C-alpha cells in the first residue's frame, strides 16, 4: 500500500482575555510565528483568525506531533500579545460586522466580488490533505468517499452559536459558508480530465481565476497531489483533530484497496448525500442519518461505527488503530458542540462557553 501522507490545517480564533470577544492580532501573531514556523502559520481574511498548517506527515503519529507543536507555539505567541487561542467553528457571540479585514489584494478582490457574503464568513475550519499520486485514482476515490462526509462531519460539529444566539444547529459554520458559491458536496466526475475541464471552463468564463476557488467539502487539490477534506469544523481538542484525520486517511486507503481489487464502493448522488449533510449539521451525532442502501433512517452513531468496521482492515497497515478508535470517546463524551451547549445550559453564560473552548483547545498540550 502507498504511503498516504497527511497535511492538516487548523483555523483558530484570537480572543481578548477580558471581554472574551474576538480581537484582531494585527498580524503580530503571524509575523512573529513566521520567524519560527515559516510557512506553517498565515493570516486569513479576518484579522481575528490565524491559520496553522503542518508539514507533510508520513503517518498519523507525525501528524499528532505537528498539530501539538503548532498549537503550543501559537498559544505561546498569543500569550505574548495578551491573547488567548480558541478552537471552535464559530465564536459564540462576536459579531462579524465588528471585525477588521486583513489588508491584502486577494481579500480585497474577494470582498469586491462577494460583498457581505465574504465579510460575514467569520468561520473556522479544519482541512486535511491525504496524498494520492494519481489524479485519476484520486477522482475515483473522491467520488466514493463523498458518501462518508456527513459521518465525519457529524463527529466534528463544534459551532452551535452565532452572534450570541443558540442556532439550534450543532454546526452553524456550514450554514454561513453555504452562502459562498461552489460549496457543499461535489458532483460525481467520471475522470480527472472531466474535473479539469470543469475548472478550465470556470476560469475561461471568469467565474474563478484558479481551482482554489472551488470550496467543496472535498476536492482534488488543484496544485498538490492530494485529496483535501474541507467539511469539518475545527475541533477543540488535538485528540479530535487527529482522530478525524486518521479516519479520512483510512477511508482513502480503503477505497484505494478496493479499487486495486477491482471492487468499488457504490457512488451515491450528490442530492442524497446532501440530505445527510443537513442532518449532520442540525443534529451532530445525536440524530439520524439515512442508510441509502437500506433506504431507512439509522441512528448516526450506528453508521459511524459501521464506518469504523469498513476501514478496519487498513488501519493496522496505516498504524492508526488507536487514533481511529478515539471515535468511541467522541460518541461517549459528545462533540465540541455538545460540550459547548452543556456549559451554556449549566451557566447561561456565553463567556463561560468561550472560557471552556480556550481551556479545551490546550487540552493535552499544557
**Domain edges within the chain:** 6-361
Show the cell assigned to 109: 478582490
pLDDT score recorded for residue 28:
74
106 in the Ramachandran plot: left (φ > 0), alpha (ψ -120 to 50) or beta? alpha
Residue 245 in this model has a pLDDT that exceeds 80: yes
| φ and ψ of 100, to 5 deg | -80, 145
**What band does 266 get if pLDDT is binned at 50, 70 and 90?**
confident
Mean model confidence pLDDT for the chain? 95
pLDDT score recorded for residue 50:
94
Mean pLDDT score, 187-198: 95
Taking only the tens place, the pLDDT of each residue in 194-220 is: 999 999 999 999 999 999 999 999 999
What stretch of H or E contains 72? helix 60-80
Residue 27 in this model has a pLDDT that exceeds 90: no
* Nearest-angstrom CA–CA distance, 165 and 348: 12
Mean pLDDT score, 6-31: 91
Taking only the tens place, the pLDDT of each residue in 32-67 is: 767 667 778 888 899 999 999 999 999 999 999 999
CATH 3.30.590.20 for domain 6-361: yes
Taking only the tens place, the pLDDT of each residue in 56-96 is: 999 999 999 999 999 999 999 999 999 999 999 999 999 99
pLDDT score recorded for residue 232:
98
pTM above 0.85, yes or no: yes
* Nearest-angstrom CA–CA distance, 111 and 105: 10
Which one has a higher pLDDT value, 25 or 65?
A: 65
Mean pLDDT score, 268-276: 96
Show the cell assigned to 245: 484525520
Which one has a higher pLDDT value, 38 or 308?
A: 308
Q: Tell me how many degrees the CA angle 215-211-146 measures, rounded to the nearest 5.
A: 45
* Nearest-angstrom CA–CA distance, 223 and 308: 31
**What band does 104 get if pLDDT is binned at 50, 70 and 90?**
confident
pLDDT score recorded for residue 39:
74
Q: What is the dihedral of CA 161, 157, 146, 59, to 10 degrees?
A: 130
Amino acid at each position: 500500500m502507498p504511503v498516504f501522507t497527511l497535511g492538516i490545517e487548523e483555523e483558530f480564533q484570537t480572543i481578548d482575555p477580558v471581554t472574551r470577544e474576538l480581537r484582531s492580532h494585527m498580524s503580530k501573531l503571524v509575523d512573529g510565528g513566521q520567524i519560527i514556523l515559516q510557512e506553517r502559520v498565515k493570516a486569513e481574511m479576518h484579522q481575528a483568525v490565524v491559520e496553522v498548517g503542518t508539514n507533510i506527515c508520513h503517518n498519523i503519529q507525525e501528524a499528532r506531533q505537528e498539530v501539538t507543536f503548532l498549537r503550543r507555539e501559537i498559544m505561546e505567541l498569543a500569550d505574548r500579545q495578551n491573547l488567548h487561542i480558541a478552537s471552535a467553528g464559530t465564536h459564540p457571540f462576536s459579531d462579524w460586522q465588528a471585525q477588521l479585514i486583513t489588508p491584502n489584494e486577494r481579500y480585497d478582490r474577494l470582498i469586491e466580488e462577494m460583498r457581505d457574503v465574504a465579510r460575514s464568513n467569520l468561520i473556522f475550519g479544519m482541512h486535511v490533505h491525504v496524498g494520492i499520486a494519481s489524479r485519476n485514482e484520486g477522482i475515483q476515490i473522491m467520488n466514493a468517499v463523498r458518501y462518508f462526509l456527513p459521518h465525519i462531519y457529524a463527529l466534528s460539529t463544534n459551532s452551535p452559536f452565532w452572534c450570541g444566539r443558540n442556532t439550534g444547529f450543532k454546526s452553524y459554520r456550514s450554514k454561513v459558508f453555504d452562502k459562498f458559491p461552489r460549496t457543499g458536496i461535489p458532483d460525481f466526475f467520471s475522470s480527472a480530465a472531466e474535473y479539469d475541464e470543469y475548472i478550465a471552463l470556470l476560469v475561461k468564463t471568469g467565474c474563478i481565476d484558479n481551482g482554489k476557488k472551488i470550496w467543496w467539502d472535498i476536492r482534488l487539490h488543484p496544485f498538490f497531489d492530494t485529496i483535501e477534506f474541507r467539511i469539518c469544523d475545527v475541533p477543540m481538542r488535538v485528540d479530535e483533530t487527529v482522530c478525524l484525520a486518521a479516519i479520512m486517511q483510512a477511508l482513502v486507503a480503503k477505497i484505494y484497496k478496493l479499487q486495486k481489487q477491482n471492487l468499488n464502493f457504490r457512488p451515491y448522488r450528490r442530492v442524497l448525500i446532501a440530505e445527510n449533510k443537513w442532518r449532520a449539521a442540525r443534529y451532530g451525532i445525536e440524530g439520524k442519518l439515512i442508510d441509502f442502501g437500506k433506504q431507512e433512517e439509522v441512528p448516526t452513531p450506528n453508521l459511524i461505527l459501521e464506518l469504523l468496521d469498513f476501514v478496519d482492515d487498513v488501519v493496522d497497515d496505516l498504524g492508526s488503530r488507536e487514533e481511529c478508535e478515539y471515535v468511541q470517546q467522541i460518541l461517549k463524551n459528545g462533540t465540541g458542540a455538545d460540550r459547548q451547549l452543556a456549559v451554556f445550559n449549566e451557566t447561561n453564560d456565553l463567556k463561560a462557553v468561550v472560557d471552556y473552548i480556550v481551556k479545551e483547545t490546550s487540552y493535552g498540550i499544557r
